[in-house]
Structure formats: structure tokens, C-alpha cells
């Protein structure tokens, strides 16, 4: 089981995307378009998240926007459909004791 609440608290204020690219994580009460949960601002290198959303949603929105930032920085040109698919895959990549096993004691 994932503790989504604990995970949202671990979202940093800044994330490194490439050797020279850092994105600031910002929060807003709401976007002009009420359906929008997150936004990546490439010009200012910001990932902006709607603050008021369930913890699980917030983590997924963060990972989703992070993928948009990765797509931009590495010139991958991912489509929205591809970002949505990878958003699901990245969860498994980050899952502990999965891609890397736990360190031996
Ligand atoms: Zn998107």
C-alpha cells in the first residue's frame, strides 16, 4: 500500500530534470480552467500544481507534469497520450524494491 499523503509531503520545492535544468514546484488555489490540476511552465521552469486535490491525484499530477518537463528538456516531444501512459509506468519505476532491490544490510 502506498501512503499517498506521506508522498505528497515529500514533493520537493525544486526538482532536477537534467544536468542544468531545475524546475521549481509551485502551488495555486485554482487554475483559470477549473478542470486543470497541473501545468508545466517551460519559460520559467516551473511545475505548478493545484493545491486542493486528493493526495493520490497530486502525486500523479506531479509525475505527469514532471514528464512534460523531461519531454521538453530532452526534446522528446511526448504527446499528451504518451505522457499519460508513462505517468502510470513511472509509478512502477519508483516503487521501492522493484527496479532496484533494497540495499543489503
Ligand atoms: Zn499533460
pLDDT digits (tens, 9 = 90+) for 52-65: 999 999 999 999 99
Instruction: Give residue 85 CA to ligand 1 midpoint distance, Å.
Output: 11
Question: The C-alpha cell of 82 is what?
Answer: 504518451
Instruction: Give residue 65 CA to ligand 1 midpoint distance, Å.
Output: 6
Would you tell me the crossing angle of helices 80-94 and 55-73 to the nearest 10 degrees?
110
Instruction: Give residue 34 CA to ligand 1 midpoint distance, Å.
Output: 15
- 3-state DSSP assignment of residue 72: helix
What's the pTM? Answer: 0.91
91 pLDDT exceeds 90?
no
Instruction: Give residue 80 CA to ligand 1 midpoint distance, Å.
Output: 5
Instruction: Give residue 82 CA to ligand 1 midpoint distance, Å.
Output: 9
Give the integer Cα–Cα distance in Å for 57 and 4.
Answer: 9
Q: What does the pLDDT average to over 72-87?
A: 96
Nearest to residue 70, comparing CAs of 15, 10, 14, 1?
Answer: 15
Give the integer Cα–Cα distance in Å for 22 and 100.
Answer: 25
Instruction: Give residue 100 CA to ligand 1 midpoint distance, Å.
Output: 28
Amino acid at each position: 500500500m502506498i501512503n499517498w499523503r506521506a508522498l505528497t509531503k515529500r514533493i520537493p520545492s525544486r526538482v532536477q530534470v537534467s544536468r542544468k535544468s531545475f524546475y521549481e514546484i509551485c502551488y495555486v488555489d485554482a487554475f483559470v480552467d477549473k478542470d486543470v490540476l497541473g501545468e508545466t511552465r517551460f519559460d520559467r521552469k516551473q511545475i505548478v500544481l493545484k493545491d486542493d486535490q486528493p493526495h493520490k491525484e497530486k502525486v500523479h499530477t506531479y509525475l505527469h507534469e514532471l514528464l512534460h518537463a523531461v519531454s521538453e528538456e530532452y526534446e522528446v516531444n511526448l504527446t499528451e497520450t504518451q505522457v499519460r501512459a508513462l505517468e502510470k509506468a513511472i509509478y512502477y519505476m519508483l516503487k521501492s524494491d522493484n527496479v532496484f532491490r533494497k540495499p543489503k544490510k
